[in-house]
Amino acid sequence: MSVETNTARSFFTKLNMIALVLAIIILVLSLLSSPKAQTLFSIYAIILIILILLGQLRVNRAGDLKQVGERAVQTLWLWTSLGLVALTMPPAPYFEFSQPIMAALVVIGAILIIAGVYALLRIRKLTGIYLSV
């Protein structure tokens, strides 16, 4: 393994684990929320956790820098776009979130989006892979 490959893999792993912790927090918050939101947001959080773990597995199995970059970009796009769900859906009156849970979900969604965009740009710089993979 080259130094560049290990650097890109290490950076991806750090941010992916941050996203995993945030997804677990979303799951816990969704279980504490109103009955209308529990099912939908719990499924959303479980899907997010599975995507993060599968993405990590794929990046760990990548052999060269190009594969690490492509797989990292694909995973980062997924959890960054799912961060939009946590940012935009909680304020909807239908879900009847309490104010603290709604605020926490919006903050987590914003963190996922900001961290995802940062990670995408950084992975692009480290690997040279275009973001339209």
Q: Please tell me the predicted confidence (pLDDT) of residue 37.
A: 85
The answer to the question of residue 108 being in a domain is yes
Q: What is the 3-state secondary structure (H, E, C) of 4-50?
A: HHHHHHHHHHHHHHHHHHHHHHHHHHHHCCCHHHHHHHHHHHHHHHH
Q: Please tell me the predicted confidence (pLDDT) of residue 1.
A: 67
The answer to the question of residue 39 being in a domain is yes
The answer to the question of residue 133 being in a domain is no
Q: Please tell me the predicted confidence (pLDDT) of residue 35.
A: 86
Between 34-38, 64-68, 83-87, the lowest mean confidence (pLDDT) is in 34-38
Q: What is the pLDDT of residues 21-61, one digit of tens each?
A: 999 999 999 999 888 888 889 999 999 999 999 999 999 99
The answer to the question of residue 70 being in a domain is yes
Q: In the predicted model, is pLDDT for residue 133 greater than 90?
A: no
What is the extent of the structural domain holding 103? 3-127
The answer to the question of residue 84 being in a domain is yes
- Distance (Å, rounded) from C-alpha 37 to C-alpha 128? 40
The answer to the question of residue 60 being in a domain is yes
The answer to the question of residue 132 being in a domain is no
Domain count within the chain: 1
The answer to the question of residue 8 being in a domain is yes
How many residues belong to the chain?
Answer: 133
- Distance (Å, rounded) from C-alpha 19 to C-alpha 74? 14
**Predicted TM-score (pTM) of this structure:** 0.91
